[in-house]
Amino acid sequence: MAKKLKKAHSLRHIVQIGTAALTNGYLEGFKTGSIYTGPLKVACVPGLNCYSCPGALGSCPIGSLQAVLSNRGYNFSFYVVGFLFVFGALLGRFICGWLCPFGLVQDLLNKLPFYKKLKKLPGDKALRYLKYFILAAFVILLPSVVLDIAGQGSPWFCKFICPSGTLFAGIPLVAINSSFRPALGGLFVLKVSVLTLLLLLSLALYRPFCRYLCPLGAIYGLFNPIALYRFKVDKTACINCGACQKACPIDIPVFKQPNSQECIRCGACRYACPVGAIHTTIERRAKKSGIEQVYVE
Amino acid sequence: MRVRKHAWVVLTITALAFIAIGIFRNEAAVVLRKATMICMECIGLG
């Protein structure tokens, strides 16, 4: 079982690395400290992938949403919400677990040995709501309401919080292109501090940013119960042993809530289940046992 | 259960319609313009 789980995690990391390479394949940007300016950037990518990353070939959906909302001509973005709905309706938070580059960074850091690994932070339940507050305040409200004299807003989430933008865009651009260095100041220090805190926390806690702060995860989580890709528990097979919850790095009672908004579809529960009761809506039913299966979704 | 099973189809169709409306409202151009310039605020310099 442990071997199977290791194999599954390896496959997931290969997909994560492949996706990160595919969506950040503009190598010239890394050489010159510039960004891709071609037409592909009209499309949003599914994960939190800053469009100012030197390699980025697509647009970050959260950055794009703020860009439209902070533009004085619009108070809603059909275009970006459309992308978010397509990704969410098809995959839900599978995107967080398998396709997000910042998720990959947190996954890899959590694999490093640390003197104390935490299952959750104190106040975990309340902290989970923080990402919805960040989505409402920093991504939607502040960019559309706080405007300068020209009627333009700011991308508040990107500016003050987004650690993905700092790691994949800010730090590489400043390191490669010296023309950015004179502009370094308090904001950069703040953003690097947020990033450092989250990276250090990732050593002890599995995916702290995704659990508590990510507005994109908050959106995709809402789709988990209705997305094309869902988990289902065969109640005729489940023995309520709790092995799924024990294996879950986010401590979700999968046997009760297979489609929790917090689940990033890493799949650890499926390999931990001693009776193989957790299935996905994509896979075919492997066995035709003749016994009717009763699913909880 | 049946509604939940097929909700993703309705949502996907709605989403594609939203994208088309967004293109018609010139939102795609706003996204492209923002994404093809280095966002100084996003990288912590603005």
pLDDT for the residue numbered A71: 93
DSSP letter for each residue of A59-94: B-HHHHHHHHHTSTT-S--HHHHHHHHHHHHHHTTH
Place of tokens 């439209």: A68
Q: b or e along A44-74 (b: 16 or more beta carbons within 10 Å of the residue's beta carbon)?
A: bbbbbbbbbbbbbbbbbbbbbbbbbbbbeeb
Backbone angles phi, psi at A280, to 5 degrees: -110, 160
Contacts of B9 (CB under 8 A, 6+ apart): none
The string of pLDDT tens digits covering residues B1-46 is 666 778 999 999 999 999 999 999 999 999 999 999 999 989 988 7
Written as tens digits, the pLDDT of chain A (297 aa) is 677 777 778 899 999 999 999 999 999 999 999 999 999 999 999 999 999 999 999 999 999 999 999 998 899 999 999 999 999 999 999 999 999 999 999 999 999 999 999 999 999 999 999 999 999 999 999 999 999 888 889 999 999 999 999 999 999 999 999 999 998 999 999 999 999 999 999 999 999 999 999 999 999 999 999 999 999 999 999 999 999 999 999 999 999 999 999 999 999 999 999 999 999 998 754 444 555 566 677
Asked if B35 contacts A39 with a C-beta cutoff of 8 angstroms, the reply is: no
Task: Say which of A50, A79, A226 has its CB closest to residue B42.
Answer: A50
Are residues A47 and A102 in contact, defined by beta-carbon separation less than 8 angstroms?
yes
Contact (CB<8Å) A37/B1 = no
**Spatial distance between the Cα atoms of A91 and A228, rounded to a whole number of angstroms:** 6
Q: Measure the CA–CA gap between A51 and A24, rounded to whole angstroms.
A: 9
Domains and CATH numbers, chain A: 2-223 (no CATH), 230-297 (3.30.70.20)
Query: Residue written as tokens 């860009």?
Result: A67
Predicted pLDDT at A44 = 98
Tell me A228's DSSP state: S
Q: For residue A292, what pLDDT is reported? A: 54
Helix (H, G, I), strand (E, B) or coil at A279: strand
State how far the Cα of A77 lies from the Cα of B21, in Å rounded to an integer: 9
**Amino acid identity of B4?**
R
Tokens read off for A138: 């920093």
Interface membership of A42 toward B (CB under 8 Å): yes
Nearest-Å Rg of the Cα atoms of chain B is 17
**Can you give the pLDDT at residue A128?**
97
> What residues of chain B have any CB closer than 8 angstroms to a CB in chain A?
1, 4, 7-8, 11-12, 14-23, 25-28, 30-32, 34-46
Residue type for position A23? T
Chain A CB contacts of B27 under 8 Å are 68, 74, 77-80
Q: What pLDDT score does A236 carry?
A: 94
Indicate which of A86, A90, A293 best probes the interface with B, i.e. most B CBs within 10 Å of its own CB.
A86
